[in-house]
Chains A and B, each alone.
Chain A
Amino acid sequence: MHELEFLLAILVATLRAATPLMLSGFGELITERSGVLNLGVEGMMLVGAVFGFIGAVSTGSLLAGFILAMLAGAALALVFGVLTLSLMANQVATGLALTIFGTGFSALVGVSWVGTPIAGLATAIWPHLSSAPPVLQQLMLLDPVVWVAVLVPFAAHRFIYRSRAGLVLRAVGESHDVAHALGYSVLRIRYLAVMFGGAMSGLAGAYLSLCYTPTWTENMVAGRGWIALALVVFATWKPAWLALGALLFGFVTIAQFQAEGLGIDISPNLLAMLPYLATVVVLVLISRDATRLKLNAPAALGRPFHATA
């Protein structure tokens, strides 16, 4: 019984740690499938986290917080879109700037909200969470956003491979010139994909500040945006692999706490490095097979589109 409880705890903790990666990762997957590389995921997550928190505290409604977070993420992505799609700025540089901007902006906006107490989503739904029996408590911790994150890979797979809109998305990411020649509006599709990516990053950020650790602290995303970016490459732009990668990284993230619980004596600093170390190792392994990477990567990724005619 004790072992089962422990396994359940690991599973729940893994799912919860994987949720922000899953959400922002799939947002970025859709963005990149349209041929746009947005490196601003970290910044959009931070902005989502702070606006989600502020929205929830000031309205008293967590739902309002989530909606505001998604709008904030999408708005920041829209700025990125205007710069890179309409004004054809360099996508890599603009994405990096977006992250730097998001980091500073979220700290500025959130400065007076640091330390404000708020009830997390799970507690808001189950007021008796803390006094519930352990097994039930674990299940209660799986809040609706986690369930959304569990469903996202299936929805994304259906969308990308089974729907017409997904086909058009892949086509635009593969060759914008051909898509344009066939009469598809490349920029409109890319704007939509970029803004969807922003909204998903915003939601992922709000999950951190409203569910995972219900509080706002400066720079609380702590590199998860970068891991999500790396995961998209790790998954070679495939939904199933991305889901697997997010779970794996979720597990690595919680490994440090579990190791402590099991009494394994490793420096917590070393364990805290694990997710980032794993990212580097996995990326190196993936990059070794250039052919596989080329076959699956959206061919137009990062290339600006000029409508020549």
Chain B
Amino acid sequence: MDARVAPARLRLANISKAYAAVVANRDISLGIGPGEIHALLGENGAGKSTLVKIIYGVVHPDEGGIFWEGDAVAIADPNAARALGIGMVFQHFSLFESLTVAENIALGLGAQESIAALTLRIGEISRRYGLAVEPTRHVHHLSVGERQRVEIVRCLLQSPRLLIMDEPTSVLTPQEAQGLFDVLRRLASEGCSILYISHKLEEIKALCEHATVLRGGRVVGECDPRIASEQQMAEMMIGGALPVAHRPAPAAEGKPCLIVDRLSLPADEPFGTHLRDIAFTLRAGEILGIAGVAGNGQKELLHVLAGERLAPSAAAIRVIDTAAGRLGPTARRRLGLAFIPEERLGRGAVAEFALAENALLTAWQHGGLVRGGLIRFAAVQRYAADIIARFRVVAAGTEARGDSLSGGNMQKFIVGREVGTSPRVLLAAHPTWGVDIGAALAIRQALMDLAAGGAGVLVVSEDLAELFEISDRIAVLSGGRLSPPRRTHDTTVEEVGLLMGGHTAGPAAAMAGVAHAH
């Protein structure tokens, strides 16, 4: 790479960065040519985010050099990066909810320009690339896909020569992702370089012409993703052979264990989603997957199922044979319902508590952990130690604090804790979100084993590949409405994707605009 004739648009030479004791980046070198779509591939914690922050000037490297079109540069802050021609679309959008699209874009440009003049330029860019945005709308009204378009337009207004995309498709429907790829290919053909960060291998194969793989803060390999197989790239990422999950033979159709009947619930937050007429039946022994882009009512549905919010009527939710709509979380747990929430620390576990104490938080009703109102600490320690051993949780022991574990290990612990109570119904919210491949496999395997043992499992996830792998049936949550569940064998990713973008006319129409831009 470094020996190219023409200077690379961006070249990193031996970049290192350490936080306290943790080395985030070690000796990283890579080069991106003009008009090249370059993939940066790696598991969570591999050092991708740190590297990107260094390029964008948010973090300063301890060692190493950055060369922009052949010249050594020091990027002091994001303004300096933008001045060079580096644009970035963040994974978690950097938009202000209460401001309009035009105001948001003005803030990102950092130049004095009237909102009116800016509005004209936004219209121009948005027509040229088929990125439909309305400058006067408030961001909190926008769908996730629309928000991303705002971010991209904001970058394009600065005529970037390097565009950094940090996990851009994690929040998009498959069709929206296709529209995004078209825009990126067009940008690249106009000479803009693109650094594309992702761990979704199929996307990288479809889009990128060069990939740099990171693991543990180092570059562990480079490849041409158009030629390399997904298997090869995954093994580079995790540094070993890929274990394979297997689904135990499906049991015969079981009895209903969770019945939701015409459940409607207004949102409890200004930017929340109203649930409308949700109805489904979860049977013992099956995994029901609920697909959908975040913000379509997932959080609200999970809260009302777990008992954090009460349903309008007791009959709206039946757990096993009990009308549970008006019962709180503890009463529902007593009926055999367990819940793996989306937020690991804060909802699933307490960051400041030891693992043993965290285990006790939900498992106290089971296995004789509490007797006569007193905690039996030896039993609690054993319970936590069992989870750690069974799920190979990497932790200093049962006394390790919750926030000392990585996201994936904490998630394995929480899954272990819930599975360990032998629930009859398990709700799992985004169980493998932000978890590396190895831990994700272990978690999926645990969910499948639980179902095989006769429990009903409800998985809410944005990861379609995961849902198609483990679910018996799939339903789609969109705009607070749930589509009728369909057998996984009888549906396709495309169908589910259409349902995901379906209900709200705005994004769908805008998406069509993206797709037909050429």
Q: Is the CB of A167 within 8 A of B99?
A: yes
CB distance from A176 to the nearest CB of B (A): 11
Q: Are A178 and B95 in contact (CB under 8 A)?
A: yes
List the A side residues contacting B110 at CB < 8 Å.
182-183
Shortest distance between the CB of A19 and any CB in chain B (Å):
30
Q: How many residues of B contact A (CB 8 A)?
A: 23
Cβ contact within 8 Å between A183 and B106: no
Please indicate the chain B residues that have their CB under 8 angstroms from the CB of A178 in the complex.
94-96
Alpha-carbon gap, A170 to B95, bound state (A):
12
- Please name all residues of chain B whose beta carbon is closer than 8 Å to the beta carbon of A175 when the two chains form the complex: 96-97
**Contact at B90–A181, with CB atoms within 8 Å?**
yes
Q: Shortest distance in angstroms between B166's beta carbon and chain A's nearest beta carbon?
A: 11
Shortest distance between the CB of A301 and any CB in chain B (Å): 12
Give, as a whole number of angstroms, the nearest-CB distance from B236 to chain A: 28
Picked from B59, B94, B108, B270, the residue with its CB within 8 Å of the CB of A295 is B270
B113's nearest neighbour on chain A, judged by CB, is A164
Once the chains bind, are A183 and B59 in contact (CB under 8 Å)? no
- The size of the chain A interface, using a CB distance under 8 A, is 19
- Provide the main secondary structure of the chain A interface: helix
A299 pairs with B98, CB closer than 8 A: yes
> Which partner residue on chain A sits nearest B79 by CB separation?
A183
Q: Do B98 and A295 touch (CB < 8 A)?
A: yes
- Contact assessment for A181 and B94 in the assembled complex, using a CB-CB cutoff below 8 Å: yes
The answer to whether the Cβ of B395 comes within 8 Å of any Cβ in the partner chain is no
Give A276-309 interface residues, CB cut-off 8 Å to B.
291, 294-296, 299, 309
Q: B42-75: contact bitstring with A at CB < 8 Å (1 yes, 0 no)?
A: 0000000000010001110000000000000000
Q: Mark A189-212, 1 if CB is under 8 A from B, else 0.
A: 000000000000000000000000
Q: How far is the CA of A174 from the CA of B99 in the complex (A)?
A: 9
State in angstroms the CA–CA spacing of A182 and B110 once bound together: 9
CA of A295 to CA of B270 in the docked complex: distance in angstroms? Answer: 7
B107 and A171 within 8 A (CB)? yes
Q: Which residues of chain A are near B107, meaning CB under 8 Å?
A: 167-168, 171, 179, 182, 184
Q: Establish whether residues A182 and B94, one from each chain, have CB atoms under 8 Å apart when the complex forms.
A: yes
Query: Are B96 and A171 in contact (CB-based, < 8 A)?
Result: yes
Known: A170-B98, A295-B270, A299-B98. Is A309-B106 also a contact (CB below 8 A)?
A: no
Residue in contact with A167 in the complex, picked from B57, B106, B269, CB distance below 8 Å: B106
Separation of A265 and B58 alpha carbons in the complex (Å): 67
| The one of B53, B90, B112 that contacts A309, using a Cβ cutoff of 8 Å | B53
Chain B 69-94 interface mask (CB, 8 Å, partner A; 1/0)? 00000000111001000000010001
In the complex, what distance in Å separates the CA atom of A174 from the CA atom of B108? 15
Nearest chain A CB to B382 CB, angstrom units: 38
Q: Are B99 and A181 in contact (CB under 8 A)?
A: no
B98 in complex: contacting residue of A168, A174, A183, CB < 8 Å? A174
In the complex the two chains form, what is the Cα distance from A197 to B362 in whole Å?
Answer: 47
Enumerate chain B residues within 8 angstroms of A309, measured Cβ to Cβ. Answer: 53, 58-59
In angstroms, Cα B358 to Cα A232, docked, is 41
Tell me, rounded to whole Å, the shortest Cβ–Cβ distance linking A33 to chain B. Answer: 11
**Assembled-state Cα–Cα distance A168/B96 (Å):** 11
Question: Which residue from A167, A181, A184 sits with its C-beta under 8 Å from B58?
Answer: A181
The one of B59, B97, B99, B108 that contacts A182, using a Cβ cutoff of 8 Å: B108
Residues from chain B with Cβ under 8 Å of A183 in the complex: 57, 77-79, 82, 110
Chain A residues whose C-beta falls within 8 Å of the C-beta of B103 in the assembled complex: 167
| Complex-state Cα separation, A184 to B78, whole angstroms | 9
Is A181 within 8 A of B78, CB to CB? yes
User: A170, B108: Cβ atoms under 8 Å?
Assistant: no
Contacts of A168 on B, CB cut-off 8 Å? 107
Interface residues in A8-34 by Cβ distance below 8 A to B read: none
Which single residue of chain B is at the shortest CB-CB distance from A181? B94
Q: How far is the CB of B96 from chain A (nearest CB, A)?
A: 4
Contact in complex: B78, A299 (CB < 8 Å): no
| Contact indicator A164/B53 (Cβ below 8 Å) | no
Give CA–CA (A18, B270) in the complex, Å: 33
- The smallest C-beta distance from B447 to any residue of chain A, in angstroms, reads 33
B269: chain A residues within 8 A (beta carbon): 294
From B96, B106, B112, name the one whose CB has the most chain A CB atoms within 10 angstroms: B96
In the bound assembly, the distance between CA atoms of A181 and B98 in angstroms comes to 17
Of all chain B residues, which has the CB nearest A170?
B99
Instruction: Indicate if the CB atoms of B106 and A164 lie closer than 8 Å.
Output: yes
Contacts of B90 in A (CB 8 A): 181
State A181–B53 Cα separation when bound (angstroms): 10
Residue in B57, B58, B79, B270 whose beta carbon sits within 8 Å of that of A291 in the complex: B270
| Cα separation A291 to B57 with both chains bound (whole Å) | 37
Give A128-172 as 1s and 0s: 1 = Cβ < 8 Å from B's Cβ atoms.
000000000000000000000000000000000000100110110
In the bound complex, what is the Cα–Cα distance between A299 and B57 (angstroms)?
Answer: 26
When chains A and B are docked, how far (Å) is the Cα of A170 from the Cα of B106?
13
Residues of B within 8 A of A179 (CB): 107
Q: In the complex, what distance in Å separates the CA atom of A295 from the CA atom of B53?
A: 31
Q: How far is the CB of B98 from chain A (nearest CB, A)?
A: 5
A182-B78 in contact (CB<8A): yes
Contact A299 B97 (CB under 8 A): yes
Given contacts A164-B106, A183-B77, A309-B58, contact A174 B96 (CB under 8 A): yes
Residues of B contacting A171 in the complex (Cβ-Cβ under 8 angstroms): 96, 99, 107
Determine the chain A residues whose CB is within 8 A of the CB of B79 once the complex forms.
Answer: 183
**Closest A residue by C-beta to B154:** A182
B13 to chain A, nearest CB (A): 21
Name B's A-contacting residues (CB within 8 A).
53, 57-59, 77-79, 82, 90, 94-99, 103, 106-108, 110, 112, 269-270
20 contacts between A and B (CB under 8 A): A164-B106, A167-B106, A168-B107, A170-B98, A174-B96, A175-B96, A178-B95, A178-B96, A179-B107, A181-B78, A181-B90, A183-B57, A183-B77, A183-B78, A183-B79, A294-B270, A295-B98, A295-B270, A299-B97, A309-B53
Residues of A whose CB lies within 8 Å of any CB of B are 164, 167-168, 170-171, 174-175, 178-179, 181-184, 291, 294-296, 299, 309
Q: A171-B96, A183-B57 are in contact. List 11 more A-B contacts (CB 8 A).
A: A168-B107, A171-B107, A174-B98, A175-B97, A182-B107, A182-B108, A182-B110, A183-B78, A183-B79, A183-B82, A291-B270
Return the 3 tightest CB-CB contacts between A and B, nearest first.
A183-B78, A183-B79, A178-B94
